[in-house]
Protein backbone atom coordinates (compact mmCIF):
# COMPACT_ATOMS: atom_id res chain seq x y z
CA UNK A 1 0.00 0.00 0.00
CA UNK A 2 2.86 2.36 0.79
CA UNK A 3 4.25 1.70 -2.68
CA UNK A 4 1.00 2.81 -4.33
CA UNK A 5 1.11 6.06 -2.36
CA UNK A 6 4.76 6.79 -3.07
CA UNK A 7 4.11 6.38 -6.80
CA UNK A 8 2.17 9.67 -6.64
CA UNK A 9 4.50 12.47 -7.81
CA UNK A 10 3.71 14.70 -4.80
CA UNK A 11 4.42 12.07 -2.12
CA UNK A 12 7.92 11.85 -0.63
CA UNK A 13 7.21 9.08 1.89
CA UNK A 14 4.23 7.19 3.29
CA UNK A 15 3.28 4.64 5.92
CA UNK A 16 0.03 2.73 6.32
CA UNK A 17 -1.42 1.43 9.59
CA UNK A 18 -4.68 0.00 10.83
CA UNK A 19 -6.76 2.25 13.10
CA UNK A 20 -9.94 1.47 15.03
CA UNK A 21 -13.15 1.96 13.06
CA UNK A 22 -16.67 1.83 14.47
CA UNK A 23 -18.18 0.30 11.34
CA UNK A 24 -15.51 -2.16 10.17
CA UNK A 25 -13.52 -2.76 13.35
CA UNK A 26 -10.33 -1.55 11.68
CA UNK A 27 -9.67 0.83 8.80
CA UNK A 28 -6.64 1.76 6.74
CA UNK A 29 -4.98 5.07 7.61
CA UNK A 30 -2.21 6.52 5.46
CA UNK A 31 0.34 8.90 6.95
CA UNK A 32 1.84 10.89 4.11
CA UNK A 33 4.89 13.14 3.90
CA UNK A 34 4.63 15.45 0.88
CA UNK A 35 7.44 16.70 -1.34
CA UNK A 36 8.42 20.35 -0.93
CA UNK A 37 5.90 22.62 -2.62
CA UNK A 38 3.34 19.85 -3.20
CA UNK A 39 -0.27 20.28 -2.19
CA UNK A 40 -2.51 17.35 -3.17
CA UNK A 41 -5.58 16.76 -1.07
CA UNK A 42 -6.68 13.54 0.58
CA UNK A 43 -9.25 12.84 -2.14
CA UNK A 44 -6.59 13.00 -4.87
CA UNK A 45 -4.42 10.48 -3.03
CA UNK A 46 -7.36 8.17 -2.37
CA UNK A 47 -8.31 8.31 -6.06
CA UNK A 48 -4.70 7.54 -6.99
CA UNK A 49 -4.80 4.46 -4.74
CA UNK A 50 -8.21 3.38 -6.05
CA UNK A 51 -6.64 2.86 -9.50
CA UNK A 52 -3.86 0.70 -8.06
CA UNK A 53 -5.32 -1.22 -5.11
CA UNK A 54 -8.34 -3.34 -4.24
CA UNK A 55 -11.16 -1.34 -2.66
CA UNK A 56 -10.63 -2.68 0.85
CA UNK A 57 -6.93 -1.72 0.73
CA UNK A 58 -7.35 1.94 -0.19
CA UNK A 59 -6.95 4.35 2.72
CA UNK A 60 -10.10 5.51 4.50
CA UNK A 61 -8.09 8.21 6.26
CA UNK A 62 -5.18 10.30 4.99
CA UNK A 63 -3.08 12.24 7.50
CA UNK A 64 -0.41 14.64 6.28
CA UNK A 65 2.74 14.76 8.44
CA UNK A 66 5.96 16.78 8.34
CA UNK A 67 8.05 13.64 8.82
CA UNK A 68 7.43 10.01 9.69
CA UNK A 69 8.81 8.81 13.04
CA UNK A 70 11.77 6.51 12.53
CA UNK A 71 13.95 4.37 14.79
CA UNK A 72 17.76 4.30 14.77
CA UNK A 73 17.73 1.83 11.86
CA UNK A 74 15.55 4.11 9.73
CA UNK A 75 12.40 2.01 9.96
CA UNK A 76 9.05 3.76 10.43
CA UNK A 77 7.70 3.39 13.97
CA UNK A 78 4.13 2.40 13.15
CA UNK A 79 3.10 2.09 16.80
CA UNK A 80 3.62 5.85 17.17
CA UNK A 81 1.43 6.48 14.14
CA UNK A 82 -1.33 4.29 15.63
CA UNK A 83 -1.11 6.30 18.87
CA UNK A 84 -1.52 9.56 16.93
CA UNK A 85 -4.65 8.18 15.34
CA UNK A 86 -6.73 10.10 12.85
CA UNK A 87 -8.71 13.26 13.34
Alpha-carbon distance of 35 to 32, in angstroms, equals 10
Is 6 inside a domain boundary? yes
* Residue 84: inside a domain: no
Residue 40 belongs to some domain of the structure = yes
pLDDT one-digit tens code per residue, 26-77: 999 999 999 998 888 899 999 999 989 998 889 999 999 999 999 999 999 9
Asked if the structure places residue 85 within a domain, the reply is: no
DSSP annotation of 52: T
Q: Which CATH number characterizes residue 50's domain?
A: 3.30.300.30
Total structural domains in the chain?
Answer: 1
- Please compute, for residue 32, the number of CA atoms within 13 A of its CA located in the half-sphere on the CB side: 32
Q: Does residue 76 sit within a domain?
A: no
Q: Residue 36 is part of which domain span?
A: 2-68
Instruction: Kindly state whether residue 31 falls inside one of the protein's structural domains.
Output: yes
- pTM of the predicted model as reported, rounded to 2 decimal places: 0.90
59 falls within a domain: yes
Beta bridge partners of 75: none
Amino acid sequence: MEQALTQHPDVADAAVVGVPDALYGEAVAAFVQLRAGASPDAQALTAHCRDRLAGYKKPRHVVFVEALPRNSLGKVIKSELRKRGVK
